[in-house]
Structure 1
Amino acid sequence: MAALGTVALLALAACGTQTGSGHGSGSVRTGPRITGVHWNVDSVTAGGRTTEAPDGAHVVIGPGGGATGNFGCNRFSAGTSTDGDTITVRQATTTQMGCGTDVRRFETAMSRAFSGELTAAVTGRTLTLTTEAGDSIALTSEPPAPLTGTTWTVTSLVSGSTASSLPPGTERKARLSFGKDGSVRGTLGCNRFRGAATVTGSTITFDRIDGTRMMCPDPRMKLERALLAVLDGRTTYRIDHRTLSLTASNGEGLGATAPAPGG
């Protein structure tokens, strides 16, 4: 697959909160913040035909001029430059996964639209990138999932800098939710639990974790023991869009994801 010019979005990185009024200032004069925002790709319109984006297609534009994302199948990264509201796309790199026919069609449309010079415009939560030929890419910003009130599904266990998959047969079995009243509840893969969780800055301190006492197959009990070890005392947490990371002081932790809006 040819390198996807989609990387064009990267160019937006420089626009950030800059609002320079002079042409050639190197900033996109759109007012709303563009960098550091999770932009869902909605569609590409090329040659008068609009192609809807696959689920999961998104772009995150970094403040340093680079962007990363996913077209619904293949991930990408690229670098760009900006001049006013013009974005010039440089070489992009993508993974080379085999994708379904519809996704390949969308990625082809993206690769053709994301090349050369693009004009960026923001209206509310919508970002539109337009090519010199008049083709366009529509994107919508999506805020990060809130810690409280979200059902977080555990997807990985972490030890130091290494993340590992859950034991076979335990996928999507463990979930946790934080309440605004300082509570935490959910299931550990076998037993349900409830406890207290005090959030202070980037830390969560767990206390008084109680639960049912069912016996389950070994893989589920192994997962449960690992999770209980994390949900014990002080941990640090980080939310990256719809991904939650919890890390205990000994380096053990977990990764969890939130459902997509409307999902």
Structure 2
Amino acid sequence: MADALVLAVAAAICAAAALLDALDARQAPDVRRRARAQRRAARRRRSPTANALARLGRRAGLPLREPGDLARRVHAAGLPPAVTSDEVMAVKAGAALVGAALGLSVLMPAAPGRLGPVVVFAAPAAAFLAPDLWLARRARGRARLLAIDLPDVLDLTRVAVASGLPVVRALQAVGERRGGPLAAELTVCAALIEVGVPRAQALHRLAARCPLPGVAAFVAAVQRADRHGTPLGPALAALAADARTDRARRIQDRAARAAPKIQLAVALLLVPAAMLLLAAALITGTR
């Protein structure tokens, strides 16, 4: 009886894991990303760890050369304006120093054989590159959120412009009434233009902060309308249709990738769970 109970419990655990995996694959990834983005937006300040690493890196004064594309990656990650590329380099320097200290004091004595010197050099290098990986991951997640919001934002901007609002007022109205990272960038762009920043510079900043082809095409359409006086509504309608088509294609691609995951969960978890339940019933019957 004890063996049957153990098998039944194991079967229940496998079935529950399979159901959770299937539900997680079925749940819209966009909803999860939007929830994570909202939680991150609620805590705009950098973590104490990042602040400590930045102070350590600045005090060390290491002669590090800033990569040419670091500013672009910082913009693409959507970091606050106070976080510049110099701040990121200070964090990288501080992380490298902490990694070197950990490599010498902890990892090198614990490394087997001749791996000690390798660990001493690998630990600071990995710590130095960790902020770059974090920036790339954050930029990818933010780009997905921007792509999700882009069709609706373009449609709302088209409606606002068609109702008679100037472009700047339309950007401000859409940004204030539509949540999300793209709407926030529109609000900042409109505010910069209102305080006297040249429109071309503010739009260039918008394109840098939102590195999507649709946003670049939107900025080009606004600049073309300003330069030649062409109507902006038809261009926004075409851009919104293209963005919606791209979003539908990405959703279909994610759905196609989710199907093998569900089949794998069924094959590896549900089938063994059913087998365990059958074995438990057979053991109980034989006794």
Query: TM (normalized to structure 1)?
Result: 0.22
More helix by share: 2
More strand by share: 1
**Which structure is higher in RCO with an 8 Å CA cutoff and minimum separation 6?**
2
